[in-house]
Every structure is written in structure tokens, then in C-alpha cells.
Structure 1
């Protein structure tokens, strides 16, 4: 070789060494066949920490961990390079300061032209940052998998693009009932109802998720055991970096109990609203009825006196009788309003249901007409119930008439009664106790849910304008509630209606007795009667009725004026006082009179039922509107 060639080769070697030494991101160095380091570049110095003078002549195994040296990994790497022509791998290595770094290693054997092994070229790259990032990612993925697996309230799983289940968490197993080995690989449409599968719902869900980026819905799903549950479902598509659809993430939550709880809450709220509405209407109706009773008391009282004084005027008597009939119709209306408001006077007594129904069967049959068949079915040995006979008979007539009207082309009405026991207030909030359920069932048109919900509302009717007051069912409802029972309507459009009257049984030892009308009462001779009423019209009418009976009457408009009469020393044989008065009501006045004259007879006149306590609770009651005969009867009772 010429000198110029030697010089050129030396220059090239120098340039190559400069190039190698300039590389700082890779450790590039040579080792001899025994593993002794024979060269060292700047990259090796940078991330292994050794100066060239410190490391040349040392064995390359010093970079390995103690466990790798004991396992013979340095020798194995060189043998692999010789045998396979190259060694490549990753592992932990040790810096001069003793810290570890993760590296990627390549070892290539170097042979001379004759094939003699000269040593090995070794290239090492520090991948610690990448390794730590991978470890962090791996740890994060493991934690995420643990998180997903530990969730039991949600079914979290993935689907392949074609809808097959690819993984399964514990929540999915708990909610849907399948173990992972049972469901992975199956199509997710398995969870849908048969009708939803036929309608293509599974495919629609995936299609919407893929095109719109998300699918969300509430629907029924099917568990492994075949039971259904209401599910809230979310499906999200999973896309690869290249835009390829990798599958779907699916989240399902069992919301059956939550939905039922919400429905129960809504029903409770609706029931509360209905109760508040009925209470408000009841108070309004009771107040209106009270005022009307005062007016009707005046009208009927004056008509009664006119009829007596014009007995020889037939034409005028006809007018008076017609006006009286109109007023009595008003009385019937106010009684219904009071029944709904639970403010009517009830004369409760033990009542035998079969005997009561039997007693009005003839009236019922004549009211129902020939196209309606009437049947009765009573359980044997029914206990008597506590009720007002007249009001219960009126309620039965109302229910039977409604049933007849629901069967314009004829049908059948069944009246039945069975004993019932309520143990845990599970039936329409009935108090615990023993009841008799008196029912009226028809085969009529029935009611849709909206009509059924309003059927007991006052003034609600389906009979058309002028054909019903809309107070029949509300009257029955109020009457039964006032007795401590419940009125329950059951109906379905096209399947008839059943009205149930749940009446409390009479306590043990009570005996049912028929209603006995009292014989005609003889008028009490002339008395000095003190009449107290804040309504001037009612006061005048009452005074006129009493005077017509031959009594001397003192009329005053308040309790204060009444007490002043006693202070004046005037003789009083009887007091008739209105209950509802301002400042001092009738009960308070009666108590004050009792302190002055303990034995003086007192009658309380009222437009609706009121609960009285103490010494006035046993006083005779005069219900408005009243007639002259009612006055005669109550005076006779009071003066005994």
C-alpha cells in the first residue's frame, strides 16, 4: 500500500472516530473477544458516567446488575451474537454512581478478512424515560382494570365492531347474571327482549353510536334467569388513530328500583295533592252548605207559616208547595255537599248489612228497571257494622243508580259483602282492624284511568249538563270516610266497575237493630224561649215558627246579648242557639249558661256536624234547615 493510501486511510479512521465520538444519545464502544472494553465514545460517557481512562480495559459486565451477572447474562449476550450474528435486547444496567437505567442493547461480532474474531461492537441506548412511561401506563391500565372490575353497580364491558362481547366486569355479572366465560364471544343482543330484537333495536343502538358518537336509552333488558329489569344504557364507539372502528364501550345500570321509587314518590305526591285538593274543596263545600242551610231554614220556615195561614187559598197553596219542593231539592243538594265534606249529622248504630240490603231490594229493583238483573251474595255470619242507616241506604241507591246508568242496554248488578281484616295498613291506608267490604259491581262500560281518577271529585259527572249534580260518589266517599272506613273504586274501560265500601265492624257485644221511627211528638205547652243566631233572617224565621207554636220568644244576635238577657232577670225556659257565631260560638255560650243556670235546657242549632266535647257534648242538636215539626221534636227532647 502506498503512502498516500495509508494517509487517506488514517484520515478516514480519524473522521470515523470523530463521528462516533460526536454521538451523545448512544453509547458506542468496542469490546474484545473476552469482553474487555477497548474504546469509549461521548454517548457512553454521558449516560454511563465513566471517563474513557476509567473504563478502558474493564470488563463490560460491570454495567450489568448483580442478579444478571450471577445469571451469566453478559456471556450469554456475546455467545448469542456469535451464534446468531447479532444480539438485541433490553434490560436494566448500572451507572458509575450506582443508579439504574433501562437500555436497549445491540451487540454485533467483528471479524477480520480471514474470519478471525476481533471483538464486538456494542451500541446501547438509554430508554429509561420510555420505560418509566410504559410502566406508568401499565400501572394506570392495571388500576383502571381493577377499577372497572371492582364496580358492581354498573355493567361495564366492551363490544367488538360486530356486537360480540369482548370483556366483562363484576357489575355486568351481578346485574345480568352471566359469568365471563359464559358471555364473552356472545352477541350483546342476548340481553334484549324478544320484541326489541325483532324490531332491530341492538343494531340501531350500534348504528346510532357509530354515526352520532353516542347512544343513550332506557329500556327493558333480560337477565340470564329470564327476568326483566329496566336499564339505563350508554354506548360509545371506540376509534383507532387511523379512524378505524375498534368496537364499543357499553355501560348499563339497573334502574328498576330507582324508577319504582320515583314512581312511588310521584304517586305519593299525587295522593297528597289530591288529598289537599279534596280537603280544600271539602272546606269550601262545607262552608257553602252551611250558608245555604241558613237560607233554606229561612225559606222553608216562612213557606211553612204561609201554608198554615193561607190554608183556604188553594191557588196560593200550590205555589207555596212548589216553592217548598224546590227548597227541599236544595236541602238534598246541601246534604250531599255536607256528606262530601264529612260535616253531616250521622246517627250511627250497629247495622246488619244483609238485612239492610234486603230491606231496600224492592226499591232498588223498581229504580233499576227490567233490563238490569240484580243479584246479592253475602258471606255467612257477617258481623254488624257501625253506620247511619239512612245515609248507607242512600249511598247504596246512589251506587246502584250509577251502575244502571253505565249499562244503557241492560246488564247485571251484584251486591256482595265479605269480612276483611287489615293487619298492616296495606289497603288504601285503612287503619288496622276488622271490616266488612260491601261491594256493588256492574257489567257496564267501565271507566278509563282519567275518568276513574276524577270520579270522586265533587261536581264531576259524565252524564251531561243537567243530568247529574256530580255529588253522588263524592257524597258516598265523604260519608264512608266520616265513619272511619274507605270508599274504593275499581274500574277498567269495557270491563265494568266495582265500588267497595269498607265499613268498620262494630265492637264485640254490640247487636244490630233495625231503625225505629219515633212516634209523633206532642207539642210542649207555651215556653219562654231564648233564640240566639247572628243571621238576622234565620233569627226572624225561627222566632216566627216558635211563636206560631204558642211560645214566647226572645231573639238576640250574639252570645253577649244572650248573657245580658240573663243579667236582666227575664225568665227563660229554653235556649236555642246557633253554633257558628263570631266572638262566642254556641258551645261557648252553652258553657257560660251552664255556669249561671246548670239545669236550663239548651239546644244547639247547626248547619253541619261539629265535634263537641265536655259538658256540651250531650246537648240536643237541631240540624239546619229545620221545620216546625223538627222544632216540636227537639223541644220535647230538651224539656224531658
Structure 2
């Protein structure tokens, strides 16, 4: 009896507990469901955002590939224009475009830094572009120093270089890979959107469940309704944001289209302006060149003409004074010849004649010359610190470089101040100074306490024809000639300057070791073959009658028998009529055909006759293949120089005859 009421009480307590616990259980279940839904929605949203970001990254890489391809193509086009026009501004535009392409390549590497599957392609592209840039810069450098034909040849060869195809292939590989990745990421965006949509559908179903459960727990239903309102507001905000983004994209597209039209118009106007500017620069360069060089040449010609005229007047009454005037005329002619050599050395058309030089001895020997050149108001300090290190350079060009630097320092100090010339030693690492390789270098520093230079002037100090001096006071070739000489000598030049505090020019030249010096001394001390030759019948081919008469007289003075020929077309007939001709002396540039072309066209019966070419264009001398290995003599020449050249050419004939007899 007692057990029954107890069991009933327990049943009622259980049911009451169940009624009290049911809302909590439903709430926990619904809360868990809501948490799972929110987590799924958040994950879907993050995946969607991640997919969108990756999609944008792929689009950026594809855009960078196209920009890099276009920029590098424009750079090569600009280089072609620079090689043809040799315009300095076009060269700078090429360098700017090449740097822009390199910047785009670095941006591409940064964007793909987390894409392991793309990094190797980008690294290979960077290496190929680096090699391509070096090739193009070499073409530009040759163009800058007036090696137009060599630059055209290298540019033509560069167009067929394997790096071109390699870069194009790598760009296609990167672009195709990103296109494929873009498809995958677009699919990921679509899948993430589907997950978000499913999450929305689940949310609506859960809302229905909350409406049903409101019969059991009103607060749960209110919570569900609040969630639905929040989700709706979020969807509306996303929709509004998408609408704003679409409008912004449309506006930006319109702006880009307008900007593209403006760029096309500006490009057309710039091309016309560049054509006009090139003409202006060409005329300005010619004016500067003629203004300075003509002044120097006129001075030298005045010495030559005046000396010869005075010598003619004094020839009978005062032979000694006539000889002195002739010596002055010869000195003036030698100075004019030296000026042409400096100009040709600047243009890298004349080969250097290097010898072993001790910088300390060279500077000491120039002391008096420097004092006379810069005047008494400037104190000169010589500091010898090279410690016996030698360099292998053209001594004449080295002296000209030092003298030019001293003259520039004098002008910078306005004729008053202190000039310091210091030699020294330096041990450089690779690339520490300019393009110098690692090793020992002898240094030469010319320092003044003059007005100094601004950064803008320092940036242009080595440009040909650039000068801050008035017209007629300088050609703008001094430092350019020094730059060409130092580079030809495998050295480097560096400028330090500050406005109001002076300028220092540092020249670094490779040290010549004692072992190499001993080898050179032994070569110089080797016994020389006897170069004396009996009188020889020599055929002289020269189209200029004055030069022809002078050459005939000089050869006769040396004891040989000259025979004149004023046109290359007469050579074969003269050779056939004079079987005793033992040497042909020919000018290089003549009407209808050049000297080398004339020699190559000779019949086989006359090809054994030795040849001596004479030329006034020093650029010819460096092209040994064009002369077929024959001796070349440069105008103007002295009787001693002509005698040595004739002996060398006739010695070749004797050696050839000896070899033929031995066979």
C-alpha cells in the first residue's frame, strides 16, 4: 500500500523533471545546432574569401606577366631606336624601361612567394631576364661609345639569342599555369558559394524548427527569430556591398579606357617631340665639337703655316733659324696628330700602345709641365705612395689624362688654390669599385679645393660634349676621353665632389706584377732581325696627287725606286709592265674600291707581292682581318716611321721566300 503511493510520487517527480528539463534539452540541442550552423557558415565564408583572394592573386600574376612582356618589348624597341639614332635621351628611356621590367619581375616574384609550384618558373625567368639585360646593356654601352656597327651586329645577334625564346616560353608557362589555377580557384569560389547557400537553407529550416519549438520554449523561438533577422541584415549588407563593388569596377573600367586614349595621344605627340629633340641635340653636339676642336686645330695650323712660311724666308740667309722654324712647324703638326689620337681614343677607334709605367716616376716627370700649364698661383702637392707598383698603360694617354685633370682643377679653382696629385695602392674586392674585378690596383688621385660640382653635374660629367665652360673654352671631351682610356686599360674611375669644398678624381688601374714585367722586358730585349734592304721597286697607289708626290719623294729619299699609280684600276697593268716591283704601298680609302678590295682582286700571279697599307683613319687599324694580315701605317708619319714600315713589309717578303725555298 505504502509502496504504490511512493512509486506514484516518483513518477510524478520524474515527469515534472522531464517537463522542466525538456526546454533545456531542446535549448541545448538547438544551441548546438545553431553553433554547428554558425561554424559551417563561417568556414564557408572563409573558404569563399580565401578562394576570392587566390583568384585575385592569379589575376594579378597574369596581369604582371602581360605588363612585363609589353615593357621588355618596349625596352628592346627603344634600344633599336637608340642604336640607330644614337640619341642620349633614347638611351636613358631604354634604361628606364629596362628597370621598369625588372621592377615588374620583382613584383611577380613577391606575389608568387607562397606559390611553391610557381617559384621555380619565376626564378628561371629572372635568371633569363638577367642574362638578356646584360646583353642589351652591352649593346647600349657599345652604342654610347660610338661603336654603331658593332652595336647593330650585337643587337641583331641578341634578337636570335636563346634567352628570347626562353623568356617567352617561361612567360607562357607562368601564364598557362595561372590560367589553370584560376579555373580551379573559380571552381573553389563556386563551391564555397554553394556551401554558403546550403548554410542559408539550413538556417531557414532551423527557423522552421524554432517556430515549432516555440510551443515548448518561447525564449528559444525569440532567439531563433533574432538570428534570422541578423542573417537577413547580413545578406542585405553583402548585396549592397556587391552592388557598390560592381559600380566601382564599371567606373574604373571607364577611367582606364579614357586613360588609354590619352596615352595613345601622348605617345604620338612624344614621338614628334623626340624627333625634333634628336635634331636639336645633333646640331648642339656638332656646334660644341666644332667650337672647341676647331679652335685647337686653328692654333696648331697657325704654328705649322707660320713656321713653314718663316722657314722659306730664312732658308737662304739663316739656315739655322729656318731649321728652328721647321722644327716648330713639325711640333705643331705632331700636336695636331696627338689631338686626333685623343679624339679617336675617346671614340675607342684607336688601339692603345701600353708599356710598363711607374706612376710615381710618371707624375714626378710631369711636375714642370703641370706647373707651366696651371700657373704660379696654384700650389701643387705631389704625394708618391704607389710603393713601386707598376701599371701596363699607354704612357702618352696617361700623361694626357693627368694633364686634363689638372687643367679642369685649375678652372674649378679659378686659377688660385691647392692641387694635390697622389699615387697609392688599393686591394679591391670584386665589384667594390665599379666593375673592377678582385685584385691589386695602383691608384691616382687628383684633388682640388675649388667650387665643386652639384649632383646633377656629377651625373653627366662623363657624357660626351657635356661641359659647363663657355663655347670655345672646352669641348666637353676631356673627362670622356679619360673615361675611355681608363676603361680600355681595364681600370675604373670614380668622382667625389661637394659644392664649395672641391673635387677628387680617383683612377684605379690594375697592378702589373714583376713576373709579367720581366716577361715584357725579355720580349723587348729579344734580338731583332736585320731590317736593312737593298733598293726596291715600290708601286705607290694613292688618289690624292699631293699625298702621292710626297710619298714618292719620301720613298726615293729612303733609297728605294718609287712608281706612281693614281687609281686602283691601273694597278694590274702596271704590275704586268714592271716585273721588278717588290712592294705595293696603297692608301685604304680610294674612289671606286678600297685598298684591301684592290689587293683581294689582284690576279693570282701578283698575290705574292707584299703590301703596306697607309691610312689616315685610325679606326681601320683595329680591323686586322680586313687587311689580310698585311702591315698598316697610320698617317701622318715621319720618314723614320715609313722606313720601319717598309722594312717590316719587305722582311715579310724575305721570310715568305725563305719558307717557300725550305719547302
Structure exhibiting the larger radius of gyration computed from Cα positions: 1
- Determine which structure has the larger strand proportion and give its number: 1
TM-score by length of 2: 0.47
